[in-house]
Amino acid sequence: MSQTILSVAKEVAIAAAYEAGRLTRERFGTLAHYEEKDDHGDIVTEVDHMAESIILEKIQRVFPEHHIRSEEVGENDIQSDWIWMVDPLDGTNNFAVGLPLFGISITLLFEHIPVLAVIYEPMTDHLYVSSKDGGAFCNARPIAMNRVKAITKARVGWIQGHAVQNEQRAVKLRHYIDVNTKRMMRLWAPTLQWCMLARGDLDGIIVYNSEGEDLYSGLLMVKEAGGIVIDYEGTPFTGMRSQPYLIACHPTHQDYFLNMVREGLSVHTSL
C-alpha cells in the first residue's frame, strides 16, 4: 500500500467532504420534494446528487485509475486494488424531514480493507478522520472508545439494512435490546452512530444485515479509536461482506454484547 497515495487521498477526501457538507448545510430546510428509491423507505433528493457530483469530481480528477462505488451513481467499470466508497448524504430521510442529523461519508479501501475514513457532520462542523494504524480524530483531536471496565445497562446503537424491515428475527433481537439496555438508538444516519461510539458516547453498536457505502468508514473509525468489530459468533470482522451481522464495542465489553445478541436471538416472544 502506497503511503503517498494515502496521504493525497486524505487531502482529497477532506476537501470533498467539506465542500459537499457546505452544500448540504446551505440547502438544509429548503427541500421542495424527494423521490422514493424503493419500497423499503429509502429516498433520494437533488441534494444527494449534487453532493455526490462534488465528491466524485474531486476523486476522479486526482485518481482516475481507482474504482469507485457511490450511493446514487453506483460503480464505475475500473478494476483496481483501490476502492472508494461514497455516501454523499448519509441520513437523507432526516435531511428531508428537517432533522439536522446527517453526514457525508467517504472511505478508501485497499485490497478490500478500509485504510482511510472521512466523515463530516455539516450541522455541527465535526470532521472525523481515521486511517489504518493512524488513530481516529475529530477536528484534529484524538478520540477514543469508552473504557469503562464493566457495564450493566448499555447505550446501544441499532443499524439495520433498508430491506430488513420487520423480519421476525430482527424484530425479536431489536425488541430484546430495547428492553434490556439503558437506551437503544436509531438515528437513520449510521455514520453518526459510528462516530458516537468512537468518541465514547455509545457503548456498542449492533448491525443487522446493513451493508452499504456508509458502513466501512464507521468500522475503521471505531477500530482506530480502540474498538473491536466482530460477528455474532465472536469472530473478528475484516474486509467486506455482503450481509454483515456485526457487533462493535470496546474489547472489555465483548462478552456482554455477545451474550446480549445470543439471548436476544434465542428468546421466545409473542411479537
Domain coordinates of the chain in residue numbers? 3-142, 155-266
Tell me the C-alpha distance between 66 and 213, whole Å. 16
Which of 110, 135, 139, 130 is closest to 217 using CA atoms? 130
**What is the structure's pLDDT at 153?**
87
271 — pLDDT class (breaks 50, 70, 90): very low
pTM for the model: 0.94
Domain 155-266 listed as CATH 3.30.930.10: no
168 — pLDDT class (breaks 50, 70, 90): very high
Most confident of 82-86, 147-151, 238-242: 82-86
**What is the structure's pLDDT at 151?**
84
**What is the structure's pLDDT at 36?**
76
Chain segment 71-130, per-residue pLDDT in tens? 899 999 899 999 999 999 999 999 999 999 999 999 999 999 999 999 999 999 999 999
Fold (topology level) of 3-142:
Fructose-1,6-Bisphosphatase; Chain A, domain 1 (3.30.540)
Percent residues over pLDDT 90 in the chain = 82
C-alpha cell at 48: 444527494
C-alpha distances out from residue 196 to 47, 52, 185, 209, 270, Å: 25, 24, 11, 20, 33
3-state SS class at 10:
helix
Summary mean pLDDT of the chain: 93
